[in-house]
Amino acid sequence: MTSTWVEPSATATALLLLGRGSDPATERGVECPGDLPAPSDPELVARATAAKAQLGDRVFVLGHHYQRDEVIQFADVTGDSFKLAREAAARPNAEYIVFCGVHFMAESADILTTDQQQVVLPDLAAGCSMADMAALPQVEEAWESLADLDLTEGTVPVTYMNSSADIKGFVGRHGGVVCTSSNARRALEWAYQQGQRVLFLPDQHLGRNTAVLELGFSLDDCVLYDPHKPNGGLTAEQLRDARMILWRGHCSVHGRFTLDSVNDVRERVPGVNVLVHPECRHEVVRAADFVGSTEYIIKTIEAAPAGSAWAVGTELNLVRRLALANPDKQVMFLDRAVCYCSTMNRIDLPHLVWALEELAAGRVVNQITVDAKTAHQARTALDQMLALPGTENRPPSGAR
Ligand code: SF4
């Protein structure tokens, strides 16, 4: 990865990413009168380097694509949540897996690694607002509502990887499957071979986008289940007629992009390619030129011709690194407003240093464990996903 930032153009987004100049539309003239601290405290960098060296092969550090640079520099491997869980599983000799990501990812790593390995999340407050939108008691209650209507028999639960271990366990218990943004289509195709209806958790946008844009469903085939309302706010007839019951959950980062973001960037940058993640709203995905997982987004930008312009609708740390790594292309953030994943960004260098130094001193901190029963049930749903034909991190879709 290159270390120098080359400004793609004097757009408002570039100014925001650079942290210099001003963008009156978004920054409102805010100034910092003093000296800014170094982005990575050199003393903390030295401490992290020393602790990691002391641990050697006993530790394996995973870094999600949305992590900040000061953390990602210590990752042994970077990737999306699924790739990282598989990387952890492929390192049975690493005693400690330090997961620089969010809570549900560390849970998946614990499920997929051996009992001898310990998974550490440097800051326990690093959760995921989307995963938190589907709590097990809510999902159990929804299932009971479906049972009261005799609908569970033909309903297959499918959960996005971005869900807690107990939701994955619920899905495993009820004959369903886990999916990623890369294999959601294949997971749904499998589910519709098992039943006529899917309960999709917890991301309504990924579920809707896949059902409508990949499987050819109509929007009317999908209903939105609100866990805060009796029967999800739906009538018995609506639930019975639905082919896709979408849980009312969303990503607070990708859900921020709007149709205005797309129209605005097209107006500002003629010929720009709009590339978005399928966690974005349906109208945004429809208006985009390309859609796919974070791995797909990275590969698409890397393969793009020099001189091409890309407005990317995903987390800002990743977009910024893509812009740095591809100075021959104009890579910009899709929206004018900055949009980090605030929970992912809770993992910072001080927390990483603390976790590594504690491990080096023989103390395991912030260990993430999933109880054996839940892990077994979740593993059933994960194994079902791994058994889907062609399940690798293959891009799902591509050009629209
Ligand atoms: S980007 Fe969205 S889905 Fe990913 S961890 Fe953050 S809130 Fe959760």
User: C-alpha 218: how far from its chain's center?
Assistant: 26
CA angle 268, 275, 247 (to 5 degrees): 120
| CA 341 / ligand 1 centre spacing (Å) | 6
pLDDT band at 81 (very low <50, low <70, confident <90, very high): confident
Q: How are strands ordered across the β-sheet holding 197-201?
A: 177-179, 155-160, 197-201, 244-247, 222-225
Distance from C-alpha of 21 to C-alpha of 16, rounded to nearest angstrom: 8
Cβ–ligand 1 contact at 343 (below 6 Å)? yes
Residue 345 in contact with ligand 1 by CB distance below 6 A: no
- 341 annotated to bind ligand: yes
d(CA 92, CA 256): 39
| E strand residue ranges, 56-173 | 59-64, 77-79, 96-100, 118-120, 155-160
- pLDDT band at residue 15, thresholds of 50, 70 and 90? very low
Q: 128 labelled as ligand-binding?
A: yes
User: What topology does CATH give the domain 131-251+375-393?
Assistant: Rossmann fold (3.40.50)
Under 8 Å between Cβ of 244 and 206: no
Contacts of 318 (CB under 8 A, 6+ apart): 65, 66, 294, 297, 298, 312
Calculate the average pLDDT of the chain.
89
- Per-residue pLDDT tens digits for 160-188: 999 999 999 999 999 999 999 999 999 99
Give the gyration radius of the chain's Cα atoms: 21
- Contact 280 CB / ligand 1 (< 6 Å): no
Please tell me whether 162 is known to bind a ligand. Answer: yes
Superfamily covering domain 254-333: NadA-like (3.40.50.10800)
What CATH number should be reported for the domain whose range is 42-127+344-362? 3.40.50.10800
State both tokens at 31: 């100034």
What does the domain layout of the chain look like in residue ranges? 42-127+344-362, 131-251+375-393, 254-333
- The answer, yes or no, to whether residue 393 has pLDDT greater than 60, is no
Calculate mean pLDDT across residues 281-286: 98
Q: pLDDT digit string (tens) for 39-71?
A: 678 899 999 999 999 999 999 999 999 999 999
Pairing state of beta strands 398-399 and 290-291?
Answer: antiparallel
Strand partners, 64: 79
> In the block, which residue shows the tokens 């709590």?
135
Q: What is the pTM of this model?
A: 0.88
CA distance 130 to 133: 5
Ligand 1 pocket check for 109: Cβ under 6 Å: no
